[in-house]
Structure 1
Amino acid sequence: MANIKSSKKRILVNRTKAERNKAIKSKVKTSIKKVDAAIAASDKAAAATALVEAISTIDKATTKGVYHKNTSSRKISRLAKAVNAIQ
């Protein structure tokens, strides 16, 4: 355990930020799973609505600094490509 006051504060702040980032990443993963489930069921309408929500969640994570913009762009692109491939 740190002895210096600023070090103790950094530990607490880092823990708080890590928990926040973990929660945001969990939301993103859940929204992606919903899209994947709709794709597996071949339900284009449900997949499209889930995709819109997933894009929103991923964009919010990007603006909060959890994901790099290229990472979020790649995730969105792959999801959209999979939804568009549904017959």
Structure 2
Amino acid sequence: MIVESVAGCSWNGWPDARGIRTLRKRRAAAIAKIDKEGRVTESTPPPKVLAEVEWTGDSIPNIPPAAFKVSVRRPAGSSKP
């Protein structure tokens, strides 16, 4: 299992000089790999910014900032439980 922490979301709700509103989402993440017994087998320190996504326009999507994103990766060819 891989656990990735995600933080940061800001929205400029007021139109800028051109009348455009902007949402910026910044993700700073630390990744930890956890084995079946719950032990951390590998981890990395968070980079300053993993990704920055910007939406511009009148219709800003409602995207709540996530506290954690958890994904499970299995080796190729392994059987699913």
TM-score range, shorter chain: under 0.3
Larger RCO (CA within 8 A; separation ≥ 6):
2
What is the TM-score when the length of structure 1 is the normalising length? 0.21
Name the structure with the higher helix share: 1
Name the structure with the higher strand share: 2
